[in-house]
Amino acid sequence: MSTKRKTVAVHAGSQLTGSKSQPVVPPIHVSAVSFFDSSDELDEALDGKDYVYSRIAAPNAALLEEAVAALEGAEACVAYASGMAALKAVFEAQNLKAGDVVVMSSDGYGVTRSLYKNLAARAGVRIEALMLTDAAAPERIVALRPKLVLAESVTNPLLRVPDIRALARASREVGAALAVDATFPSPYGQRSCELGADYAIQSTTKWLNGHSDALGGSVSGTKEKLAPLRAARLLGGEVLGPFEAWLTLRGVRTLPIRMKAHCEHAAHVAKRLSESSLIERVHYPGLPNHPDHAVAKQVLEGGFGGMVAFDIKGAGRPDCFRFLEAVKLARAAPSLGDVCTLVMHAASASARRMTPEERQAAGIGESLIRVSVGLEDPDDIADDLLAAVSEAMKR
């Protein structure tokens, strides 16, 4: 190589040589482009057989995809820059035509509903929002004959739990694809594909990452089902960056240990809240009085998740805002899955993009608080929440 400083500055230190060491932690591959000495090898790489351009395939994202697929019990996984990008990819992969029907949960994440309504409007597709936890939901799916059914394994924010097996049977009967957003339980709590789903979707930003420092999303399923999604991502460019993939894979390594604790803490907090006269209703599938407790025991593994929701007795939106300002340990933030406890007012956050009529139909009232229970001492968490409720309701 030339010794001229301009050339040295560009090329020196580009490759490690002479080492046989293997790092315990995968390195971060920040190079978006690679080169090959062989033109034949370069030609094959451009077909996706090796890493040459990170929009086609990238090492850190590939490692994360391998790990998430294994956790989901699926053949393959495609990673995305966000959970919303993953949800959009599933919709677009169905090649829906004018007049087709998409069924989705009426009490699910408001932003997902807004996204699908927008996508459907452009394509002339009809959205049917159903309460998928109702016993009659499978019959309604068969009657509607949709092309796609999107369920949430635990709904956001009311924590209802549909019978994924029954939804899968109904979907198969009419040839519909079943996609399950399983972000709330994470793959630790539910392997949706093993219950019959065609797609298991994660916002990897949440429990998989676990530290609120990397956006991302994933779709898992069979290689055949994911092939169109992977091809579309190559053209659309919704790729996950190397730093985000690396951080998320770091979080994945501790997922089972973290989720076990999150589930245990959430169960304890839910019990404490249910004993308070300040709380009108606690939404947690692990409580025996939860309407889907029996179903949750069948479709959730390792616990009932790290999410709890509750209605403050007699509260309106101003009272709930005072609650958010009164917490000391918890943090008011519109996300979940962190090691620290996060709280939010559901109607103004997760359900913000739903119309008042949609919120009312779903049962999302102004008194509803959603909690992502962290790894702090569970009594400290409960004490903080109850003290904040008391402070907020002083009039």
Looking at residue 195, what DSSP letter applies?
A: G
Q: What CA–CA distance (Å, rounded) separates 99 from 216?
A: 32
Catalytic site residue 80? no
Q: Are 385 and 371 in contact (CB under 8 A)?
A: yes
- Of 333, 339, 394, 344, nearest to 371 (Cα)? 344
If DSSP codes are grouped into helix, strand and coil, which group holds residue 52?
coil
Token pair recorded at residue 109: 């994440």
Cβ atoms within 10 A of the Cβ of 82, count?
Answer: 17
Q: Are 190 and 299 in contact (CB under 8 A)?
A: yes
* CA 82 to centroid of chain Cα atoms: 9
Phi, psi of 50 (to 5 degrees): -160, 175
Q: Are 79 and 65 in contact (CB under 8 A)?
A: yes
Catalytic site residue 297? no
Catalytic site residue 395? no
Q: What CA–CA distance (Å, rounded) separates 169 from 42?
A: 45
Cβ atoms within 10 A of the Cβ of 332, count?
Answer: 16
* Residue among 80, 109, 116, 199 flagged as catalytic: 109
Q: List, edge to edge, every strand of the sheet that includes 342-345.
A: 279-283, 307-312, 368-372, 342-345, 331-332
- Of 86, 132, 126, nearest to 105 (Cα)? 132
* Residue among 50, 51, 53, 55 flagged as catalytic: 55
Catalytic site residue 370? no
* CA 290 to centroid of chain Cα atoms: 23
Name the E strands within the chain: 76-80, 101-105, 126-130, 148-152, 177-181, 199-202, 217-221, 279-283, 307-312, 331-332, 342-345, 368-372
Cβ neighbors of 388 (< 8 A, separation 6 or more) are 323, 326, 327, 328, 330
Phi, psi of 152 (to 5 degrees): -115, 130
* Residue among 113, 160, 206, 225 flagged as catalytic: 206
The residues annotated with a catalytic role in the active site are: 55, 109, 181, 206
